[in-house]
Amino acid sequence: MKKIAIILSGCGVFDGAEIHESVLTMLHIEQLGASYECFAPNIQQHHVLNHLTGEEQAQQRNVLEEAARIARGNIKDLSLLNVDEFHALVLPGGFGVAKNLSSFAFEGAQSTILELLKQCCQSFAQQHKPIAYLCIAPALIGHIHPQGTLATIGNDEQTAAATEQLGAKHVTCGVEEIVVDEQQKVISTPAYMLAGSITEASSGIQKAIKALLDMS
């Protein structure tokens, strides 16, 4: 059975991992006959937002502890991820990718990325193991993969431009479609960058996970 690593960035669309995308990733991995294990960095979130009002809250939360909510407690520190134990990797989206795993939400084309995350992703790439990036996560592709690696965040021109300035080659893509860089073994899909419903998000994620498993 193929085993897939999932890297989460917290819990909640506005300050962590997008919950629907994370759960759909787990569901489609299992439905397609594979298994998964979740990881997250043991760091503080950039900030905490009230998901009811959108207001910032005066508190601190830990990315690993928050991601454990999605993983039902079955999660490990990202520093313990052993690439040799997995066939492929998935990064669901959510603002946690752009706020906790990187500074893309604030600095765009001048953003930096968490070094531990970069090392993990590049280790998969060096072993020619495929990686799927969902939603806003493809904005990290330029930090990780060679210049010109194909990526999509859907059709938002400003975000696409920043993604290209970081080194990726952006491809406009519909919510139900995926973009695959066969040479680099990189898969991306817009998910909630475009999705208006969980069903729409699911369609592209299912295709991305199928392509990931076919490629691994």
Positions annotated as catalytic residues are 135
State the Cα–Cα distance between residues 91 and 143, nearest whole angstrom.
14
Pick the closest to residue 75 from 144, 152, 7 (CA basis).
Answer: 7
Pull the structure tokens for residue 212: 């990931």
C-beta separation of 13 from 95 below 8 A:
yes
* DSSP code of residue 188: E
* DSSP code of residue 78: G
